[in-house]
Amino acid sequence: MIIATQSLAQQPELPYRQIPDYPTSYTAATVTARMIDGLGFRYYWATEGLRPEDLSYQPNGDARTTMEALIHIYELTRNILNSVNQIPNTTEKTADMSFNELRQKTLENIKATSTKLMQSKDEDLADYKMIFKRETGTREFPFWNEINGPISDALWHVGQVVSFRRSSGNPFNSKANVLVGKLME
């Protein structure tokens, strides 16, 4: 379980306060990187200023808490990064982290994924298989499944975090403009 938060003064500069400039060309890798950047921007603002009561918010007994949703998003971003780094996913447990550590590591995973994709020379992303290595064997999926699986799932859960924080009385910053990817002053 993730516990304790650091003060904001202790938190390092995090990526995705603003979405990076878009690439100059459209390729499979640059378009996917931009989608990942959109995830990063949304995650940054969905998690900015979360309070302990937001993290423990749970709409009902069958739903995850906000913190549990954030852990799941972290695990999804780890899966996505593993694919672009061609590393198999294992049943590795998520280490105990503070909320700020979890947020930082999630944003770093997203940024590292985008950077790797932007540097990619593999136009069709065929080398970026999603691999699951378990005691019972190994399963591989093409990158297509990464898009409709973990990437889409992470976006879905970021939306849940926004909804949950609104329900717990701490709405998403309305100045965070997802169309232009920056905070409107």
Q: What is the pLDDT of residues 79-107, one digit of tens each?
A: 999 999 999 999 888 889 999 999 999 99
Tell me the pLDDT tens digit for each residue of 6-55: 444 455 799 999 999 999 889 999 999 999 999 999 999 999 999 999 99
SS3 assignment, position 139: strand
The answer to whether residue 9 is domain-embedded is: no
For the record, the structure tokens of 89 come out as 């996913």
pTM of the model: 0.91
Helix (H, G, I), strand (E, B) or coil at 30: helix
Helix (H, G, I), strand (E, B) or coil at 183: strand
Residue 137 pLDDT: 94
Decide if 179 is inside a domain. yes
Residue 59 lies in a domain: yes
Half-sphere exposure of 5 (CA within 13 A, CB side): 17
State residue 185's pLDDT score: 84
CATH assignment at residue 111: 1.20.120.450
- How many CB atoms sit inside 10 A of residue 50's CB? 22
Q: How far apart are CA 62 and CA 53, in angstroms?
A: 18
Q: Is 23 part of a structural domain of the chain?
A: no
DSSP H/E element including 161? helix 152-167
At residue 5, does pLDDT exceed 70? no
Closest by Cα among 39, 138, 41, 131 to 84? 131
Give the 3-state secondary structure of residue 133: strand
Domain-located, residue 17:
no
pLDDT tens per residue, range 148-185: 999 999 999 999 999 999 999 999 999 999 999 999 98
**H and E: helices and strands count for the chain:** 6, 4
Give how many domains the chain has, as a whole number: 1
Instruction: Write out 35-90 in H/E/C secondary structure.
Output: HHHHHHHHHHHHHCCCCHHHHCCCCCCCCCCHHHHHHHHHHHHHHHHHHHCCCCEC
Torsion sign across C-alpha atoms 60, 66, 72, 73:
positive
Question: Are 40 and 15 in contact, with CB atoms under 8 Å apart?
Answer: yes
What six digits make up the tokens of 179?
Answer: 């169309």
The residue type found at 44 is: Y
Domain membership of residue 160 as a residue range: 28-183
Task: Assess if residue 164 is contained within a domain.
Answer: yes
CA distances, 167 to each of 16, 62, 99, 149, 172 (Å): 24, 16, 19, 27, 11
Is 101 a domain residue? yes
